[in-house]
């Protein structure tokens, strides 16, 4: 089965840990590529490539100010990812409920005396 292109698929785009770090860094604030590179201890060309991918899938926006480009996470673009992951929350909740029920139903463990 062919993989979706990183430049068109949000899931493939965020599969890369450095892109997730960039999204986290840019959530709620704007930064130019140099500041991103410095904050994440990455080379500027590497950050530029990751930003290009994130921009192509619509996860970051850019704003030009003179010769500088500022980037920021488009948090609304993460909503489809959140919705998909949320589908699994009911399974986690169910498992936690089962653990609680078993713990409450188990007889108390004997206290060891010395």
Judge whether 2 and 9 are in contact, CB under 8 Å.
no
pTM, two decimals, is: 0.73
The CA radius of gyration of the chain, in Å to the nearest whole number, is 22
pLDDT of residue 72: 97
pLDDT of residue 103: 78
Which CATH code fits 10-74? Answer: 1.10.10.10
Task: Give the pLDDT means over successive 10-residue stretches in the chain (114 positions).
Answer: 61 94 95 97 97 96 95 92 83 73 73 62
Q: In the chain, where are the structural domains located?
A: 10-74
Q: Which residues contact 30 (CB under 8 A, 6 or more apart)?
A: 63, 70, 71, 72
The tokens describing 3, both together, are 């993989």
């Amino acid at each position: 089965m062919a993989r979706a292109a990183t430049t068109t698929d949000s899931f493939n785009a965020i599969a890369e840990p450095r892109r997730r770090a960039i999204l986290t860094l840019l959530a709620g604030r704007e930064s130019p590529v140099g500041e991103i590179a410095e904050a994440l201890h990455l080379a500027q060309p590497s950050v530029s490539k990751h930003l290009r991918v994130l921009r192509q899938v619509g996860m970051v926006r850019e704003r030009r100010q003179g010769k500088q480009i500022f980037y920021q996470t488009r948090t609304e673009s993460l909503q489809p990812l959140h919705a998909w992951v949320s589908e699994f929350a009911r399974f986690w909740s169910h498992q936690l409920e089962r653990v609680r029920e078993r713990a409450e139903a188990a007889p108390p463990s004997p206290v060891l005396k010395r």
